[in-house]
Structure 1
Amino acid sequence: MFWALLQCSMLFGNLYIYFDWNGRTEIPDSSRKNIFLSLLIASVLGTLSFLVLRKNHHEEEMLSEEEGQSLLSAGMMYKHRANNAMQDAKVEFGTILELVKSKTILLLSPCMAYSGLELSFYSGVYGTCIGATAQFGDAAKGLIGISGIVVGIGEIVGGGFFGLLCKNNRFRRTSVVFLGMVVHFVAFYLIFLNIPDDAPVVIKTNTQKNPYLSPSASIALLCSFLLGLGDSCFNTQLYSILGRVYAEQSTPAFAIFKFIQSVFAAVAFFYSGYLMLMWQLLLMIALGFTGTLCFFMVERMQNFTDLQEY
């Protein structure tokens, strides 16, 4: 459910893209600056909102007890909290180093890495490919926004649907991940047929190459939905299995997950402007298949551990 709510953010920004870019052949710098400033302000406000979150009741009781017994001044209170924060950071960092070497994290790393590659693909590369496809005509730039909205719909549908099913134990995690792999592979195949191969590497001009099929906006948007749906399958189940295996060490485990995902997302953005579309799709297929197999192994290990405990 968290994932479904999170992906609602993909609807509003892409609506602006559609209404502002639809019918344009070139995107002016003023429009790019408006988008950048809007997203910057939203991210700053979102980060600052953490400051108004209340502490839980247990933390407040412990803090008041410590203050009453040993903290005699505001200066000592500040120093005490700073030392605790530094000590907690060192402990968390040490835990991260320990978890990185664990068998579970090592096996889940290919799946985490794949989530980073396809994150860059659906959030940046695929929209660029649609906008650079000359066969879409004047509607190409507007389709970027519509594609982003449809990706968001796929994310929301997947997050809500599989969140409810897995909560009631109607679907196993491996079934959802396998479905995500199949959905993504179908989307990659359709993209390969529908989008010109040089679309990611074209700069400021539309591609003139013809794909295997006559480019269809309907197929392009169908692929957008499949990309979002498949992404929700992988991410929701990664969240689920990390929360299950590392219930007592959730913060370091999720830090490792986001680190690996972000590194590979950055790598994908780097090579996306140099590799032809076919090679990018093949790379994701190879890593996606490997990541799915490794996820199956981790799930089997976890089921065996649960059986022993039972």
Structure 2
Amino acid sequence: MSPNGRSLLNIIILGFSFMFIFTAFQTCGNVEQTVIKSLNATDFQGSGYTSLAIIYGVFSASNLISPSVVAILGPQISLFLSGLVYSFYIAIFIHPLTWTFYTASVLLGIAAAVLWTAQGNVLTINSKDTTIGRNSGIFWALLQFSLFFGNLYIYLAWRGKSHISDVDRRTVFISLTVISLVGGFLFFLIRNPEPLNEPSESTDSLLNADTEESNNKKALQVSVKKEMLLLSPSISYSGLEMTFFSGVYGTCIGAMNLLGDDAKGLIGLSVSLLGSERFWVRCSRFGRNPVVLLGLITHLLAFYLIFLNIASDAPIAPEEGTNQQAYMSPSTEVALLCSFLLGFGDSCFNTQLLSIVGFTFPQDSAPAFAVFKFIQSISAAVAFSYSNYLLLHWQLLILVLSGVLGTVTFFAAERIAVVNHRDSDYDSI
């Protein structure tokens, strides 16, 4: 197999592995607050929002050490061990206990930092400047399918149910645990890429294990570069909107009693639509800026429709839900359309962020992706924290303001990255 073919195969395997793991984890995250509301009548006293806030808070701190872990263990072993922790977290819901739930949340935060740093490293060493956009798109498309399969099952299994029984819960989470384990073992199919070009200092720096001090120093150096500072608002917004669509919006739909008896099942169907977009493959030929702008416009439309369709107290409603109405009669069709728009816009932002980080920092991919995930996870932790308390319209206002700011700064970062890359190519002639 040619070097290009092997590298492409590695990206496809990486995407399928993440698809299985996040089919399980995303489904778990989308329904856990609803499931926990049914559990809180028992001895279990936990909060899905609090757990996710812990995960992303620990995640952000752990990004300081994740480049060193990946450098020492190698990306393949790092991916596999992290995948096992994801499976452990999901398995907690088979027989949930409060202390194991929050302990697993801490462990998952650490594992997530290692997993995504290793992912960024594998993506970069299997890509060239001309293929980084394509490869990040392929990876993100496969990852987005994770939102479809598990949540479609949730819709079919929980349709018409107002309360999640123990049998329903165990059946779902045993299945999700097995799916997650399959994804973890797929990482062993990834092979070391053959050189796409002549060996270079940048390739050697990615393949050789550095010391912890060196990796931390690189991460700090990357974090204060002009390009990363300009990308920070965009990355932060991606964390905020990821929190909203992956944890808050599904809970809001499930809490809307005016949507009828199918509201709980609609959690799964709505989130499954988030993963149904693969538009970026064709859009990427027009450059990163138009795709990000399209993502912003799509998200602004979704936020406006959600504001009109979903009651303001839906994010913090009790188990019995809310009977309040927003500014229009609640519509299932509009709720599902908003799910599609949220996923479409999320694909716009995340594919282009993955692409520009790999394009801008090819020699320091692991530290750069660690900084990327550090910023994103801090934002997600903050968002999950305020999701316990803020009404829906305040959460939407935060998303609108941060989305506009993030888009403007992304344009500036893209301009600098292209100019620097053009100057670098000129100097190498």
Task: Settle same-fold status: TM greater than 0.5.
Answer: yes
Of the candidates 35, 51, 71, which is equivalent to residue 172 of structure 2? 35
For 1:68, the equivalent position in structure 2 comes to: none
Deviation at 1:46, TM superposition (A): 2.5
- Partner deviation per Cα, 1:206-237 (whole Å, 9 max, x = no partner): 21111101011111111000000000000011
Amino acid at match of 1:239: L
Cα 1:56/1:302, change in 2 over 3 Å:
closer
Give the Cα separation in 1 of the matches to 2:394 and 2:376.
Answer: 20
Pick the structure with greater CA Rg.
1
Q: Please tell me whether the aligned partners of residues 227 and 417 of structure 2 are also in contact (alpha carbons under 8 angstroms).
A: no
1:305 maps onto 2:420 in alignment:
yes
For 1:282, the equivalent position in structure 2 comes to: 397
Of the candidates 354, 372, 377, which is equivalent to residue 239 of structure 1? 354
TM-score (norm 1): 0.83
For 1:133, the equivalent position in structure 2 comes to: 256
Give the Cα separation in 2 of the matches to 1:54 and 1:241.
Answer: 25
1:261 maps onto 2:376 in alignment:
yes
For 2:139, the equivalent position in structure 1 comes to: 2
Deviation at 1:267, TM superposition (A): 2.0
Name structure 2 gaps, 5 residues minimum.
1-137, 196-207
1:163 maps onto 2:281 in alignment:
yes
Cα 1:30/1:90, change in 2 over 3 Å:
farther
For 2:192, the equivalent position in structure 1 comes to: 55
Of the candidates 218, 223, 228, which is equivalent to residue 95 of structure 1? 218
- Partner deviation per Cα, 1:162-207 (whole Å, 9 max, x = no partner): 23332xx3x1211111111110001000000000010000020121
Cα 1:258/1:32, change in 2 over 3 Å:
farther
Cα 1:97/1:47, change in 2 over 3 Å:
farther
Give the Cα separation in 2 of the matches to 1:183 and 1:149.
Answer: 18
User: What's the C-alpha RMSD, in Å, of the aligned pairs?
Assistant: 2.0
Of the candidates 297, 300, 312, which is equivalent to residue 182 of structure 1? 297
- Partner deviation per Cα, 1:56-115 (whole Å, 9 max, x = no partner): 457xxxxxxxxxxxxxxxxxxxxxxxxx85x44443222112111111111111111111
For 2:159, the equivalent position in structure 1 comes to: 22
Deviation at 1:307, TM superposition (A): 4.3
Give the Cα separation in 2 of the matches to 1:56 and 1:298.
Answer: 30
Of the candidates 215, 238, 261, which is equivalent to residue 330 of structure 2? 215
TM-score (norm 2): 0.61
For 2:104, the equivalent position in structure 1 comes to: none
Give the Cα separation in 2 of the matches to 1:5 and 1:124.
Answer: 20
Amino acid at match of 1:106: L
For 2:364, the equivalent position in structure 1 comes to: 249
Give the Cα separation in 1 of the matches to 2:343 and 2:252.
Answer: 16
The 3-state SS of whatever aligns with 1:239 is helix
Give the Cα separation in 1 of the matches to 2:396 and 2:380.
Answer: 14
For 2:306, the equivalent position in structure 1 comes to: 191
Give the Cα separation in 1 of the matches to 2:338 and 2:330.
Answer: 12
Q: Please tell me whether the aligned partners of residues 144 and 274 of structure 2 are also in contact (alpha carbons under 8 angstroms).
A: no
1:202 maps onto 2:317 in alignment:
yes
Count of aligned pairs:
277
Deviation at 1:54, TM superposition (A): 2.9
Q: Please tell me whether the aligned partners of residues 163 and 236 of structure 1 are also in contact (alpha carbons under 8 angstroms).
A: no
Give the Cα separation in 1 of the matches to 2:213 and 2:168.
Answer: 44
The 3-state SS of whatever aligns with 1:197 is coil
Of the candidates 275, 283, 300, which is equivalent to residue 152 of structure 1? 275
The 3-state SS of whatever aligns with 1:138 is coil
Give the Cα separation in 1 of the matches to 2:167 and 2:149.
Answer: 19
Name structure 1 gaps, 5 residues minimum.
59-83
Amino acid at match of 1:91: S
The 3-state SS of whatever aligns with 1:248 is helix
Give the Cα separation in 1 of the matches to 2:242 and 2:366.
Answer: 22
Give the Cα separation in 2 of the matches to 1:20 and 1:307.
Answer: 54
